[in-house]
Structure 1
């Protein structure tokens, strides 16, 4: 079917059965006879040839997105010196994160299968207050249930990672199908002014790096981080090059005893003057007894406050703290032709589909470019500069236009074209290509 060279398969058989010649020859005979039969009888009406991408040397293993997410969190705990705690409730398609992390007790990982979604996130917040890397995992219905506790984590300014493995909705919807329909819920689905960081993984193997980065941001900036994956990524598998952990940065939480340099005695909502990050006091450290909670606190004393100007000040601090994280993010990259008229924008798991469509169009000599977002709130600092460079901007999503609406709100005056599908299925490269070719040909595409 794919015109693949079977020599590598023969070599694998030799390694496995080299000491048993009769078994080796039997397996090679079955392999070659079956291959030749299919070739000589033209059993498939159409054959394909797929060019592989060059791979870096190293040790590879097969991994799913959910497994990669779990290992990324373990790596972040190692790099931060914090214990990893997962409080979670089983829900399709996120449950495998809980299953995977439960296997790593020997690495100090603690997992709790809670009685419900609310207990899952609140145990994780409690673990963060106690000094751990608190994590909770869920899908769309569970994210809705966790919204009040997420607001509590925003108010207390504690590190928390929430992994949302999106599925089709609304309500219980399509548990085993994949969509990108939780974005606006992740961005805005809490009461009050409740900003937090939102990220999205792009491939099954990228789930490792995305989870590591989500944990780094949560710990270093004292904020909840929602990491969006989906059923397509979580259950999908890829060949993963096992990374060298020494190449990953050390994670440095803002411990009060290490980083606070003020002359007045520390209070729980004292902040770094550049990042606005609240200093972290771990309970049990002498001299740093304190309380935090869901009621608004005075920015100086940390006691409960209903004073109007103080509330406005604290709302501003929490908003600006998230905005300033953009200073620490990598610049948004452009793929394709910088002098093209059309820019294609995507986020999350549509990366491979959009890239295939764009590369296919460019292979015919047409000019087109794409940029794909991993960091959603805040956006990378050069986002507006990239987007305004092109005459036509197309946003491709597995929803009815959520990222397009968000982007228009962040960058005024944009006129965006939208390609949307909400079918519970991965996007089709051919459909994206046809839509983009219509735009390139000047057709009146909406």
Structure 2
């Protein structure tokens, strides 16, 4: 719970009561055209600049443009910020800003009693309420009596504030999200300079529109300052103790991943090539990388998923750090070319931003159900390393790690993020250049084998004795001509081979190469070493699991926690860790895919705790489930 104390303002006088909180969860909700994502993003940016720790959860409608005022068209943005280290966007909002009846109805079930609700009363017309099934106004029928409701005519106030501008009413109404942002910025003492600078920059070619949005933003601030309905504002102090020294910025998972790919290409001194086809929620990576040609980045938007990965694999053959981005349905289409990359033994990063499935499924919701597809979704024995980031900021480091493996071992690598990480954001410490790994590669320069006759020749499948990687020869290098293709190659020479013994050897060698990848030992968080229960996770479950474990420990329970980044191969000490604990629970957003792999590999009893509702785990619900397991005899 938030801790509240009354504090005076800077003058020592309190015109309005100011309460200090340790954390707050706010959700902005409205039509997809109401600018809720922009509003949430701006509030987040100002909160990050203020120094709070934060975590966000944007929630988009699946329809490209659902009918206005309907439940399928509701878009929301949830932000959890605090004066201490936090890990999740919060289980339930303390504050809901509802721009219309649909937004209220879609989100009211998530609010605890006593939460604050700010509603745009202008949109609560009889027709708008009937559209979402309200027979009577929830603002008048007593159904909201358990909440602190602030009825605000946001649309009317915005239009009134912009009377002096040469705008139509419809154009003026579009700024109501800025009015709401100004009101919430006053309510939580957020800085305003950054938002005003952002608006001037965003509408630099339309200065009248910029001025109107700034005026609406200031009007919202002034409304909070002067109206009697808001008698209290809140302060959440910066979380200085939660952050190591450094320069920080707010970053989303897809943006961090994009920066990680650029950093990897610079550390490897290779051009970065992205061959991709737009698909939710991976498209932002294509958009971002297309902006960075100055770093040697080349992006290719292909006509389909197969062409995208085909171009990327061609770029890998040509000596680039090659990447293809997609989501689950796209991985299915790319599977044949991934198998070709396994056979060619070329470095290629396959970035899968997982979403709800199967088929088109829930394109704007999150899931972790592509793990088995990444592990086995190809014909034949085609092993591929798998790496998974655990937080939005960690996507940067995971991209560097995936690139390290791909370049050192000459193999395609899966990077499994998901929609929760991709769209969520948190503070990120910008690393110093010397902190980044050295990913330099050596291309083949000349012959590497001496025949029985004493002739120097180039063998494209002669392997490094430590990594089992084959040489990477740039096309056109004199003397390094060699055959490529999907048909099985002879060991060493690379010639086409149908020899059964050679095929057996090549299959086992490719598997041994992946099995032998150097990955760090798994670290277990078990403070006193007395825990009997281990909670093991992977990917984006890190935040909810850690938050749940913290709650249990504060209640006196002994619980150990570990989190996997490398899913193929597993860390070398994972088997020993699993046998150390009486119970092992694996929470994941699928029907138990990692648990299945662990049971098969280590022959241990692993309990799966799963959900597939398109949303991340809530920390309290997960803590309750773990508490029940701890209470078992």
Give TM-score scaled by structure 2 length: 0.64
TM-superposition CA deviations, 1:277-324 (whole Å, max 9, x none): 111111122221112210001103211000000000000110000000
Q: Name the structure 2 match of 1:428.
A: 618
Task: Say yes or no: does 1:122 pair with 2:314.
Answer: no
Answer yes or no: is the 8 Å Cα contact 1:217–1:223 preserved in 2: yes
Q: Secondary structure at the match of 2:416?
A: strand
Superposed counterparts of 1:390-405, under 5 Å: 390-405=581-596
Q: Say which of 444, 468, 486 aligns to 1:276.
A: 468
Pair 1:38–1:82, CA change in 2 (3 A): farther
Give the stretch that moved more between structures: 232-241 or 346-355. Answer: 232-241
CA distance in 1, matches of 2:315, 2:468: 23
TM-superposition CA deviations, 1:308-342 (whole Å, max 9, x none): 000000001100000000xx211111113432100
CA distance in 2, matches of 1:57, 1:48: 20
Task: Say yes or no: does 1:365 pair with 2:559.
Answer: no
Task: Say yes or no: does 1:226 pair with 2:411.
Answer: no
Task: Say yes or no: does 1:319 pair with 2:511.
Answer: yes
Superposed counterparts of 1:378-417, under 5 Å: 378-412=569-603, 414-417=604-607
Deviation at 1:36?
Answer: 11
Superposed counterparts of 1:47-196, under 5 Å: 54-196=242-384
Q: Secondary structure at the match of 2:584?
A: strand
Q: Secondary structure at the match of 1:257?
A: coil
CA distance in 1, matches of 2:399, 2:489: 31
Q: Say which of 482, 486, 496 aligns to 1:290.
A: 482
Deviation at 1:253?
Answer: 2.6
TM-superposition CA deviations, 1:18-39 (whole Å, max 9, x none): xxxxx9xx97x95896499788
Task: Say yes or no: does 1:331 pair with 2:331.
Answer: no
- Whichever of the two has the greater Rg, that structure is 2
Pair 1:220–1:362, CA change in 2 (3 A): same
Answer yes or no: is the 8 Å Cα contact 2:458–2:479 preserved in 1: no
Higher RCO, Cα 8 Å, sep 6+: 1
Deviation at 1:220?
Answer: 1.1
Pair 1:75–1:272, CA change in 2 (3 A): same
CA distance in 1, matches of 2:194, 2:310: 50
Q: Secondary structure at the match of 2:459?
A: coil
Give TM-score scaled by structure 1 length: 0.89
CA distance in 2, matches of 1:423, 1:14: 39
Extract unaligned runs of 5+ from structure 2. Answer: 5-19, 23-46, 51-187, 197-213, 452-456
Paired residues in the alignment total: 429
CA distance in 1, matches of 2:436, 2:280: 31
Q: Name the structure 2 match of 1:418.
A: 608
Answer yes or no: is the 8 Å Cα contact 2:449–2:459 preserved in 1: no
Give the stretch that moved more between structures: 240-249 or 398-407. Answer: 240-249
TM-superposition CA deviations, 1:184-242 (whole Å, max 9, x none): 00000000000011111101000001011111111111000010000100011111111
Pair 1:252–1:262, CA change in 2 (3 A): farther
Task: Say yes or no: does 1:212 pair with 2:404.
Answer: no
CA distance in 2, matches of 1:4, 1:403: 39
Pair 1:437–1:88, CA change in 2 (3 A): same
Answer yes or no: is the 8 Å Cα contact 1:135–1:161 preserved in 2: yes
Answer yes or no: is the 8 Å Cα contact 1:75–1:245 preserved in 2: no
Task: Say yes or no: does 1:246 pair with 2:434.
Answer: yes
Pair 1:77–1:39, CA change in 2 (3 A): same
Q: Say which of 495, 503, 524 aligns to 1:303.
A: 495
Report the aligned-residue RMSD: 3.0
CA distance in 1, matches of 2:222, 2:561: 42
Deviation at 1:382?
Answer: 1.0
TM-superposition CA deviations, 1:78-119 (whole Å, max 9, x none): 000110000000000000000000000111100000000000
CA distance in 2, matches of 1:185, 1:314: 23
Pair 1:56–1:34, CA change in 2 (3 A): farther
Pair 1:87–1:408, CA change in 2 (3 A): same
Give the stretch that moved more between structures: 280-289 or 175-184. Answer: 280-289
Q: Say which of 333, 338, 346 aligns to 2:537.
A: 346
Extract unaligned runs of 5+ from structure 1. Answer: 18-22
Answer yes or no: is the 8 Å Cα contact 1:70–1:101 preserved in 2: yes
Answer yes or no: is the 8 Å Cα contact 1:220–1:252 preserved in 2: no
Q: Higher strand proportion, which one?
A: 2
CA distance in 2, matches of 1:320, 1:219: 17
Pair 1:4–1:431, CA change in 2 (3 A): closer
Q: Secondary structure at the match of 1:353?
A: helix
Answer yes or no: is the 8 Å Cα contact 2:257–2:285 preserved in 1: yes
